[in-house]
């Protein structure tokens, strides 16, 4: 099987690619939730690394006062990390490649 491009990996259905269609819907949902959490944490780490020291301090103040899921925190990230969608795509591809490599059967 040829190596998959990032676009193909991004578009690949994890359940199908890993041949997990036989799992219960609950198990499938658990797997997808774990992958989503892993991607979210990876994106959060990258955001923290990308913010300048001043912006990191401002962000921490917003999170402390308003919460990490507040509109203010989200707006701050959107304003200061203009390539946020690209970061998510890269981390989804990374997570899927890792899963595909661990399970095998999918050339990455």
Q: Identify whether 73 is part of a domain.
A: yes
3-state secondary structure of 4: coil
Percent of the chain residues topping a pLDDT of 90: 82
Q: Identify whether 40 is part of a domain.
A: yes
13-39 per-position pLDDT tens digit: 999 988 899 999 999 999 999 999 999
Are the CB atoms for 18 and 106 separated by under 8 Å?
yes
> DSSP label at 67?
-
Residue 11: pLDDT above 90? Answer: yes
Q: What is the pTM of this model?
A: 0.83
Q: Identify whether 43 is part of a domain.
A: yes
The total number of structural domains in the chain stands at: 1
The boundaries of the domain holding residue 48 are 25-103
Q: Identify whether 11 is part of a domain.
A: no
Residue 106: pLDDT above 70? Answer: no
pLDDT for position 3: 82
pLDDT for position 84: 94
């Amino acid at each position: 099987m040829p190596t998959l491009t990032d676009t193909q990996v991004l578009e690949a259905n994890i359940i199908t690619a890993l041949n997990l269609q036989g799992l219960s819907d609950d198990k499938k949902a658990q797997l997808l939730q774990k992958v989503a959490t892993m991607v979210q944490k990876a994106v959060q780490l990258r955001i923290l690394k990308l913010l300048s020291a001043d912006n990191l301090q401002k962000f921490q103040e917003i999170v402390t006062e308003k919460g990490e899921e507040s509109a203010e925190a989200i707006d701050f990230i959107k304003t200061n990390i203009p390539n946020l969608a690209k970061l998510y795509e890269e981390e989804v591809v990374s997570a899927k490649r890792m899963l595909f490599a661990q399970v095998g059967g999918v050339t990455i």
